[in-house]
Chains A and B, each alone.
Chain A
Amino acid sequence: MSVVEANKTAQVGVPDSWEPKVIAFCCHWCTYTGADLAGLNRMNYPANVRVLRIPCSGRMNPQYVIEALNKGCDGVLVCGCHPGDCHYVTGNYYARRRMMIFKRLLEYEGLEPERFQVRWISGAEAGKFRDTVMSVVEQVRALGPLNLTREIPQFELPAVPDGQEAFNAVPEEVMPEEVSA
């Protein structure tokens, strides 16, 4: 998860051809239907979004978001029926709680809020689907690619906490405290 400044410097190296990749997890009954309706109405939205159909937003495992970010998506959108309209009655209520917590956790660890968004879009809200996709793509485009730091930087061995030292300390004379520190 790169930081904004890092992005700005990185942006120099970003080729002009770079396009953000956004994956949208859409529930079958509402948002996927809304996306289809956008097609029927020949609405236009950026092609940077790929829709992955799931039966219900309650099926949305946070792990899929992690996988997408890890494998190179620049943004993730999760969409479901409006609370109260879930085809399976309660799925999106659970999704709402889970995604609220998960989103906060990702942001706590430094992910830009724009990269992971959740929206309720009904089967009739083709316009909302288009607008949401456009705004998410634009926001992610503004942030630049998600350059995850992968390499482990060289760093000094941390002070080994207790216990660990006891483990290393056989025999104790060989492992004086200065070494482990």
Chain B
Amino acid sequence: MTAQDTIRARARELLENGEVTTFIGWESGRFENQTTPLVITDASDADKLVCNEYCVNTLAKYARDVVTRGKVGMVVRGCDSRGIVRLINDQVINREDVYLIGVGCAGVRDRKTGELLKKCAECRHGDPVICDEMAGDAAGRPQPSERFKEVHEVELMTQPERSRYFEGVYAKCIRCYACRDVCPCCTCRECFVDQRRENWVGKQNNVAENRFYSLTRVMHIADRCIECGECERACPMGLPLMKLNRKVIKDLNDLFGEFESSMTLDEEPGKLITYDLVDCEEFM
């Protein structure tokens, strides 16, 4: 029995006996090897569910939108499960709101080239960090060796080079906010970009204000980013957003000790809402 069969069977059971009211997974898309997220409420739709190496979307954030309808069943891989942990730890959903069927993930692939997606090549946790049951075995994939390679490359540039590089990046940004919408850490009831009274950030589509939007986004997810890489994948303009997210994670690691966000439900408070008396001092 493949993981997909198990998922279909369990989704049907869960919906039939009312344990969950909705189930989130993927279905086949219009094109070959394409999938899209699928939310079903009817057990008879369970056979539409697929689970293969082309399920590129991370599902966690969908849970937030459907959880008001009742308990949600969903398929989780490493990234999905950490997204769920994030949502739970940020009090967006409760643990008992979701029933998680875990699958081991060896990475998903580009539907045309068949190559491993960048986010998966960099992924450190293919297997779910929490789940209620596993469909199939854990993948136990090896850790990629260099978590901060990209960041390091940028750091090695000179200041003018970096400035020019990011100007190029932000020149492309179209301010569609897909990076925000797809991010499991971006769960504010009202996003700062939408707050008119404070007017936190300029709303013109120009290089400077695009940059400041992005900086704010990075600071907001800083110590909570789960490194799922969805922002980068979802970006229609192909901006290297993980270079920013990982820069902050790298600095937090270097300055305040190693950590990885959203690995457990009882994780320590984030690095930016705690402090240590012996933190290094560079502002004297």
Contact = CB atoms under 8 A, between A and B. Distances in A.
A contacting B, Cβ–Cβ less than 8 Å: yes
Contacts of A67: 200-201
B272 to A, nearest CB: 6
Interface in A105-122: 105-112, 118-120
Nearest to B169: A109
A10 to B, nearest CB: 13
A96 B279 contact: yes
A109 B163 contact: yes
Interface string B191-215: 0100000001110111111011001
Interface string B243-284: 010011001100110000000000000011101110111111
A82 B206 CA distance: 38
Interface string B134-176: 0000000000000000000011000111111111000110000
Contacts of A66: 201, 212, 215-216
Interface residues of A, number: 54
B270 to A, nearest CB: 10
Interface stretch (B26-34, B78-86, B89-97): B26-34
Nearest to B256: A97
Interface stretch (A19-27, A46-54, A160-168): A160-168
Contacts, number: 149
A153 B110 CA distance: 30
A104 interface: yes
B26 to A, nearest CB: 13
B57 to A, nearest CB: 9
B29 A166 contact: yes
27 contacts: A1-B166, A5-B160, A62-B219, A67-B201, A83-B277, A93-B275, A93-B276, A96-B283, A97-B271, A97-B279, A100-B255, A100-B282, A101-B272, A105-B251, A108-B162, A109-B215, A109-B244, A110-B163, A110-B166, A111-B163, A119-B283, A150-B207, A161-B233, A162-B111, A163-B233, A163-B234, A172-B31
